[in-house]
Structure 1
Amino acid sequence: MKKTIFVFSALIIALLVLFKISTYSIISGDLDIEIMIAFVAILSFFVGIYFNRKPKKNNASETKSVDYKKIKELEITNRELEVLTHISEGLSNKEIGEQLFLSESTIKTHVSNLLIKLHAKRRTQAVQKAKELNIIL
């Protein structure tokens, strides 16, 4: 986040300096306005390419599979695994209950059991640990 803010701040400052220099150059008659517009267009083109580049995907993440031995070792039930998957999708207890046709208190029980089994204090921490252990993808 800090890098993005820095890059945009630097870009804004660079454009302001460029416009100031171009104003003085045009007033003094040393530079045609068409050349300055072309320069700004080329600069904008390369900035757009820089921000549009996509990070390379890690091939290791594509080959990951669920570690069923770890699930068995942690004694996570199939229903708890379903709940954990829904938690990773960002659903609330009520939404998970509606999808699995269970009461909200039952979902809370499953979540509590998951937190204990994964040694986590929060749902987000449980999801993070589950991904690290390849329990969910």
Structure 2
Amino acid sequence: MSTIVNIVSRSKHIFLYGILMAVLIFVLKWLQFKFLILDNSFDIYVGLIAVFFTVLGVGVAMHIGKPRVQTIVVEKEVYIHQADALDHSELIKLNLSKREYEILQLIVKGNSNAEIADKVFLSVSTVKTHVSNLFVKMDVKSRTQAIEKAKRLKITI
């Protein structure tokens, strides 16, 4: 303890000058800040108003921007119209073979000639022949006409 007292008593002037220097620096910084505010008060007020309205705008946008969409799930029974029974009398009138009828069913499902050939294990040219015979027997010129007529005559599933 005596060593500390000795050090303080020897360097008493140094501590005193240090404390006075700190107080002086504090006073100068305070005066600088005070004059800064006085010299630039208009700029500071404009800046504070800008910050205020920016925060206000963000708050309003967050409040207004909330989605007001509500998802409502409605469960209903869906009735699927079952196809009517096949009209066998129309099938007999058209005189379609089983293979031609099978190809007509695949055409109605939207298959291409290549897909039909893969499904019924025939070559594409054979499928084209069957499609051509089908068009002649149904008296149509295109696949869409064949599909429309098959549905109208109720010969497809």
Q: TM-score, normalised by structure 2?
A: 0.52
Superposition RMSD on alpha carbons, in Å?
3.2
Partner of 1:89: 109
Letter in 2 for 1:37: K
- What's the offset of the Cα at 1:68? 1.3
Partner SS state of residue 95, structure 2:
coil
* Alpha-carbon distance in 1 for matches of 2:147, 2:137: 12
- What's the offset of the Cα at 1:93? 1.2
Partner of 2:69: 41
Partner of 1:111: 131
* Alpha-carbon distance in 1 for matches of 2:77, 2:123: 41
Does the C-alpha gap of structure 1 residues 133 and 94 become closer, same or farther in structure 2, counting only changes over 3 Å? same
Structure 1 runs of 4+ off > 6 angstroms?
A: 52-55
Does the C-alpha gap of structure 1 residues 88 and 63 become closer, same or farther in structure 2, counting only changes over 3 Å? closer
- What's the offset of the Cα at 1:121? 1.7
Measured against aligned partners, the alpha-carbon deviations of 1:8-31 in whole angstroms (never above 9, x if no partner) come to xxxxxxxxxxxxxxxxxx97xx9x
* Aligned positions of 1:13-52 closer than 5 A: 33=63, 37=66, 40-42=68-70, 45=71
- What's the offset of the Cα at 1:57? 3.9
* Alpha-carbon distance in 1 for matches of 2:78, 2:82: 12
Letter in 2 for 1:116: V
Partner of 1:69: 89
Identical amino acids, percent of aligned pairs: 36
In the alignment of these two chains, the number of paired residues is 101
- What's the offset of the Cα at 1:56? 5.5
Partner SS state of residue 69, structure 2:
helix
Letter in 1 for 2:93: E
- What's the offset of the Cα at 1:33? 2.2
Partner SS state of residue 114, structure 1:
helix
Q: TM-score, normalised by structure 1?
A: 0.58
* Alpha-carbon distance in 1 for matches of 2:76, 2:135: 35
